[in-house]
């Protein structure tokens, strides 16, 4: 199976944010920590009579806001870097066969054997595959003509998580 596509900014943003929040617990904990810091900061600032205490309260609010906004600011920075490098207009080619997954951007080709692919699954509008627990590749569903065959090959190699 060979899939060729240009991943749009919206597809990149949606997939990146979905995968960020899909990670086990860390994003949720960061969000909760952000809310707690904002609450403590407001409480400290309002009850403070000294300038130092107000400053600490304001710092807690800023840190809490950073924790809440962090994923959205990160994806924005990644999109900008992606456009600046010309990667946004690169035509990607993903080849999936019995030897593994090959990914090419026209300039560089990477061949990953099935041992390097630790998981795969479906998001809203895309299929993802994970490389050794960290990097994730994205294939938009708009280019997948035989969904069952794609799921079957990932399932056969023990990486499909549905």
DSSP 3-state assignment of 136? strand
User: How far is C-alpha 145 from the chain's CA centre?
Assistant: 24
The domain segmentation of the chain, as residue ranges, is: 2-8+88-157, 10-85
Q: Which residues are CB-neighbours of 43 under 8 A, at least 6 positions away?
A: 57
pTM beyond 0.95, yes or no: no
Q: Please write the tens of the pLDDT for every residue from 43-85.
A: 888 887 888 888 999 999 999 999 889 999 999 999 999 888 8
pLDDT at res. 95:
94
pLDDT at res. 94:
93
Q: Which residues are CB-neighbours of 66 under 8 A, at least 6 positions away?
A: 34
Strand partners, 160: 120
Q: Please write the tens of the pLDDT for every residue from 77-136.
A: 999 998 888 877 888 999 999 899 999 987 888 898 898 998 899 888 899 898 886 678
Q: Please write the tens of the pLDDT for every residue from 6-37.
A: 888 999 998 888 888 877 677 678 778 888 99
Please give the class, per CATH, of domain 2-8+88-157: mainly beta
pLDDT at res. 133:
64
CB 38 within 8 A of CB 64: yes
Q: How large is the C-alpha radius of gyration of the chain?
A: 21
pLDDT at res. 82:
87
Could you list the beta-strand ranges (E) of the chain.
2-5, 92-97, 100-104, 109-112, 117-123, 126-131, 135-140
């Amino acid at each position: 199976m060979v899939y060729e596509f240009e991943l749009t900014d919206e597809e990149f943003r949606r997939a990146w944010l979905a995968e960020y929040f899909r990670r086990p617990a860390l994003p949720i904990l960061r969000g909760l920590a952000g809310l707690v810091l904002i609450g403590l900061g407001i409480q400290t600032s309002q009850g403070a009579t000294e300038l130092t205490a107000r400053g600490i309260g304001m710092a807690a609010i800023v840190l809490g806001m950073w924790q809440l906004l962090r994923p959205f600011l990160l994806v924005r920075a990644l999109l900008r870097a992606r456009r600046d490098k010309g990667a946004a207009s690169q035509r990607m080619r993903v080849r999936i066969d019995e030897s593994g997954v090959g990914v090419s951007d026209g300039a560089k080709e990477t061949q990953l054997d099935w041992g390097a692919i630790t998981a795969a699954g479906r998001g809203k509008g895309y299929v993802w595959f994970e490389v050794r627990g960290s990097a994730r590749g994205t294939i938009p569903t708009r280019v997948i003509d035989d969904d069952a065959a794609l799921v079957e090959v990932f399932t056969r190699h023990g990486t499909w998580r549905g």
